[in-house]
Structure 1
Amino acid sequence: MFPGSDDYDVDIAIDEEDVERLLTVMPADVEPAGELTFARNVFVPLTTACRYTCTYCTYYDPPGQASLLSPEEIRDICRTGAERGCTEALFTFGDDPDARYTDVHDQLAEWGHDSIHEYLRAASEIALEEGLLPHANPGDQTREQMATVADLNASMGVMLETTADVQAHGGPRAKSPGQRLATIRTAGELGVPFTTGILVGIGEDWRDRAESLLAIRTLHERYGHIQEVIVQPVVENERWNGGTPDLATLRRATAMARAALPEAVSIQSPPNLAPVRELLDCGIDDLGGVSPVTDDHINPDHAWPAVEELRSIASAAGVPLRERLPVYERYYREGWCPDRIEDAIEAADEAGRRFRAVLDDS
């Protein structure tokens, strides 16, 4: 049904009645959340190399310019984050660097790694040693790649973005919705608590948005692993002049996400990219990861708000603000976490006490 589905053996059938029903949803049809949550994290951009060249993305650098954080840099970032009370190390990088990135591959080999996923595993070990829980968002992954790192991550994620074939993904190395869906499916098969989402304003239409949300719901119904769905607007930047969705569009898209997904799945609105105060009645209940230490390296022109600003947002909604871990509480309580993550949370050291304090407040 979706572009690339046959290539990746993705079997997702969307009921037309569900699509039509979702297309009628407006903000007045959903209830505001009873609380807002957020995670305190550090952003660790492992590499800016990416095999894709999406026209809205400022994160990737071309071959010859892409950087790769050293183990020492990773440790410094994680240590600073732990000292500032963070609980999450958010690892990001562009999807598997292809053969054009010879410098990146040479550097990985010099450090003793055959692949970027092997290096991600080493980086996750560093985060745990420094008292943070890893949450990796490394784009599309095969089962082998995800299995390489899943046992050292509290949760993982990838943005679906859209199930549509949009020009913004065009070119010889275009993203495939089928591959994105296969990655989300793989996380379910491996029992990984997962974050995904839609990107609003990259050329998709309302039917595409409805179908994307219903595809996410279908995978969650099979595996129960989707902990949150982000509704993220594309924003103007040096590579994207295709416009930013207006408030009415974001309000309707957010309400559609809330209506499409089970209540237990959180709806996240990123406060540095979206007008969150104007979306509070549209069903959002999470403000995502916010860093007191590092920039949003994917959207460097949009600074994270301070935690005090998040408290102000929650106050405007008349609801409490609660900190959470990168793995949602129900997944931890139900035994989804790998042994290394459980051990880190249950440890008697300062980091373990910090993790449990967040859980105890929930």
Structure 2
Amino acid sequence: MFPGSEAYDIEIEIDERDVERLLSITPDSVEAAAELTFARNVFVPLTTACRYTCTYCTYYDPPGQASLLSPEAVREICRDGAAVGCTEALFTFGDDPDDRYTEIHDQLEEWGHDSIHEYLREACEIALDEGLLPHANPGDQTREQMATVADVNASMGVMLETTADVQAHGGPRAKSPGQRLNTLRVAGELGIPFTTGILVGIGEDWHHRAESLLAIRELHERYGHIQEVIVQPVVENERWSGGSPSLETMRRVTAMARAALPPEVSVQSPPNLAPVRELLDCGIDDLGGVSPVTDDHINPEYAWPAIQELEDIADEAGVPLRERLPVYEHHYRDGWCSDRIEAAVEAEDAAGERLRAVLERGENPLQTEHTD
């Protein structure tokens, strides 16, 4: 039983034999992918308020310092992204901002919203108006919160991080693996194409890594909703000086992810955080969202690579590089998206043509001018 599971009635049984099999996996146990994919996005940090104070995270600001992005700023970011060929608007905010952030709540009320999720819905609609497909990653969510925004998102996500109770999550507001798993379950029950992942090097051990991957696999087997699993190393920053996992660790855990997950679930390695070139033979097939116009606001010290660098990485692997939408093609083709998202993709305008071009081309569609 994972920490916090009972509070959310999470029933996930991990067979110790599966754990042992996964612990025996090495990079030699898996094959390199036949292609690499990525999404071209803009990063829209809706608010820096967060109920958690994880010791490795630089995203959150304390009460009195947290900001809330205005609708006008959201529109400007999305418009700039659409102008250079982006297809995804990545919306982030801290997990369930609470009453500590009175200024945030007062601002939301002034703008006519009862909750941050109501405002997220407005922001997603702005992105759709500007020709981008929203992908919201607002941390732990209840069924009601997720249902509020599900139909205006092409996909959503939350990092599981780990099923272990680690000190890096410590304090009275510590993340609960059970709550995290419940968010993944709710997404599956609501039929939302979903991204999740593990964070490597925050105090978990190898057994925890195997358990985390197997828990993700079990939820995907129930609902079929997981698009990709990110294998992300913790990185040094102004709040974290505990070091990053070694290359050997990242190679092994990435191969474990590939071995644990079914073929239709991508294994993603973020190229601004992980040693991607040294992981190409470990089964990764996706490089995540990369922005030509905005920073990685969760890891601002680690700049996105230029699109040309992604092409170089693919060339080094001897495989094609293909751009994708925030919703993977097989989920879109199988009818996972709402009428609102389908209407955006099928629209007879320049934005719809751009989205369909990315969806329909089987080869690298980098035909749009960008500002890398």
What TM-score, normalized to structure 2?
Answer: 0.97
Deviation per CA, 1:295-324: give whole Å up to 9, x if none.
000000000001000000000000000000
Residue 102 of structure 1 is matched in structure 2 by: 102
Deviation per CA, 1:53-107: give whole Å up to 9, x if none.
0000000000000000000000000000000100000000001111110000000
Residue 170 of structure 1 is matched in structure 2 by: 170
For 1:83 and 1:299, the matched residues in 2 are separated by 24
Residue 193 of structure 1 is matched in structure 2 by: 193
Residue 138 of structure 1 is matched in structure 2 by: 138
Residue 88 of structure 1 is matched in structure 2 by: 88
Q: Structure 2: which amino acid aligns with 1:209?
A: R
1:345 aligns with 2:321: no
Q: Structure 2: which amino acid aligns with 1:87?
A: T
Deviation per CA, 1:150-204: give whole Å up to 9, x if none.
0000000000000000000000000000000000000000000000000000000
Deviation per CA, 1:207-226: give whole Å up to 9, x if none.
00000000000000000000
For 1:85 and 1:280, the matched residues in 2 are separated by 27
Q: How many residues align?
A: 362
For 2:68 and 2:28, the matched residues in 1 are separated by 46
Give RMSD over aligned pairs: 0.4
For 1:113 and 1:307, the matched residues in 2 are separated by 38
Q: Structure 2: which amino acid aligns with 1:62?
A: P
Question: Alignment partner of 2:288: what SS?
Answer: strand
For 1:10 and 1:147, the matched residues in 2 are separated by 20
Residue 334 of structure 2 is matched in structure 1 by: 334
What TM-score, normalized to structure 1?
Answer: 1.00
Question: Alignment partner of 1:294: what SS?
Answer: coil
Q: Structure 2 stretches of 5 or more lacking a match?
A: 363-372
- 1:128, distance to aligned residue in structure 2 (A): 0.2
Q: Structure 1 stretches of 5 or more lacking a match?
A: none
Residue 358 of structure 1 is matched in structure 2 by: 358
Question: Alignment partner of 1:151: what SS?
Answer: helix
Question: Alignment partner of 2:17: what SS?
Answer: helix
Counterparts of 1:1-362 in structure 2 under 5 Å?
1-362=1-362
Q: Structure 2: which amino acid aligns with 1:140?
A: D
Q: Structure 1: which amino acid aligns with 2:158?
A: V
Question: Alignment partner of 2:203: what SS?
Answer: coil
Question: Alignment partner of 1:40: what SS?
Answer: strand
For 2:104 and 2:184, the matched residues in 1 are separated by 26
For 1:130 and 1:96, the matched residues in 2 are separated by 27
For 2:287 and 2:71, the matched residues in 1 are separated by 30
- 1:360, distance to aligned residue in structure 2 (A): 1.3
